[in-house]
Amino acid sequence: MATEIERKFLVKGDGWRAAAGPPRRLAQAYLCGGAGTTVRVRIVDDERGYLTIKGRTLELAGGVAGSARAEFEYEIPLADAEAMLQLRTGALLAKSRHVVPEAGGLAFEVDVFEADYAGLVVAEIELPAPDAPFTRPDWLGDEVTGDPRYFNAAMASGNGPPTGSNA
Amino acid sequence: MATEIERKFLVKGDGWRAAAGPPRRLAQAYLCGGAGTTVRVRIVDDERGYLTIKGRTLELAGGVAGSARAEFEYEIPLADAEAMLQLRTGALLAKSRHVVPEAGGLAFEVDVFEADYAGLVVAEIELPAPDAPFTRPDWLGDEVTGDPRYFNAAMASGNGPPTGSNA
């Protein structure tokens, strides 16, 4: 069974920028959230709007590993998406995502937050196994993998880390 | 300033059916509701699906009467709308709506509920003024205009009248 391992770190300084590819921009917020059905509005690269409805997460029957979740996504006019971001519950998550290649086919995704989390810069790396080795560039700061304040759900509900937490 | 006056009644028996036009069918539910942003899924005539997002109601500035509410509506595939009704919070409102013309250009809209409110039949009439006269057909039952259990919000949240309330 495949397992996705991600580790998440704070970022110190701008040393990563020299090797980074062109960023993608992402702004998103929830119109409703919580444990049940969620409705998310997202703007990609300042030009495409999306509305996404996800059902509650259901465990699969018969002891099969994994879970299932109904999901519906529609592209919507950009102006609608911009107006709907104002109807959000919780925080506006706006960030630019930069890919920084590393040795061995690995890569960091460096997310530079704006809006409600301006000042926060986080790097994630996806590893093939929990103990897989990887190079730690000197701009990599403290690991926050297990810190619930950095979980997407916490950040979207406004319970993310304090801004300026890269100090 | 125009004022919309609606009065709502329970319905006794089937005497209204002879004069009724062909019904329209409506099924709808909320994916999220409450005082803030609402997201509604609706199926019209068993063939067209719609997703509607409404912002909170805002009073207009400067003492202007009325209120404003952002609203976005998208037609979506019928199969998506059917699946989304299962993700609802609160009740499924399903009904067929029949228009019954009355004298003086007036008309009753008779809603025959199904699903969570099966057994409930309600008639509404829109009047030009609160004291405007209108004929009361013999199938018109008790007035429920001011009864909060018959408000749309109460019925959608599952706090509507008990079924069989036309007895």
Of A31, A70, A72, the CB nearest to B53: A31
| Blockwise average pLDDT, block size 10, chain B, 167 residues | 75 94 93 81 96 79 63 96 92 94 91 92 89 90 91 80 67
Q: Please answer whether residues A28 and A84 qualify as being in contact, where contact means their C-beta atoms are separated by less than 8 angstroms.
A: no
Q: What is the pLDDT, as a whole number, of residue A55?
A: 85
Residues 6+ apart with CB under 8 A from A7: A124, A125, A127, A143, A145
Residues of A annotated as catalytic are 30
CB contact under 8 A, A87 and B70: yes
Alpha-carbon gap: A37 to the closest alpha carbon of chain B (Å): 6
Given CB atoms, is B78 within the 8 Å cutoff of chain A? no
Q: What is the pLDDT, as a whole number, of residue B4?
A: 64
Sign of the alpha-carbon torsion through A28, A29, A32, A33: positive
Buried b (16+ CB within 10 A) or exposed e, A79-117: ebbebbbebbbbbbbbbbebebeeeeebebbbbbbeebb
Q: What is the pLDDT, as a whole number, of residue B37?
A: 86
Q: What is the pLDDT, as a whole number, of residue A1?
A: 40
**Alpha-carbon gap, residue B58 to A1, rounded angstroms:** 51
Q: Please answer whether residues B117 and B160 qualify as being in contact, where contact means their C-beta atoms are separated by less than 8 angstroms.
A: yes
Q: Please answer whether residues B123 and B16 qualify as being in contact, where contact means their C-beta atoms are separated by less than 8 angstroms.
A: yes
Q: What is the pLDDT, as a whole number, of residue B47?
A: 95
Interface test with A, best of B78, B87, B157 (most A CBs within 10 A): B87
CB contact under 8 A, A87 and B51: no
Q: How far is CA B45 from CA A129, A147, B92, in A?
A: 52, 49, 15
pLDDT in tens, chain A (167 residues): 445 688 999 999 999 999 998 999 999 999 987 667 889 999 999 999 999 998 876 666 665 555 567 889 999 999 999 999 999 988 899 999 999 998 888 999 999 999 889 999 999 998 888 778 898 999 999 999 889 898 877 888 778 888 756 64
Q: What residues in B contact A51, CB-CB < 8 Å? A: 51, 53, 74
Q: What residues in A contact B70, CB-CB < 8 Å? A: 83-84, 86-87
CB contact under 8 A, A37 and B87: yes
Q: What is the pLDDT, as a whole number, of residue A61?
A: 64
Given CB atoms, is A55 within the 8 Å cutoff of chain B? yes
**Alpha-carbon gap, residue B82 to B90, rounded angstroms:** 16
Q: What is the pLDDT, as a whole number, of residue A129?
A: 80
Helix (H, G, I), strand (E, B) or coil at B34: coil
Sign of the alpha-carbon torsion through B44, B50, B55, B58: negative
**Alpha-carbon gap, residue A32 to A25, rounded angstroms:** 22
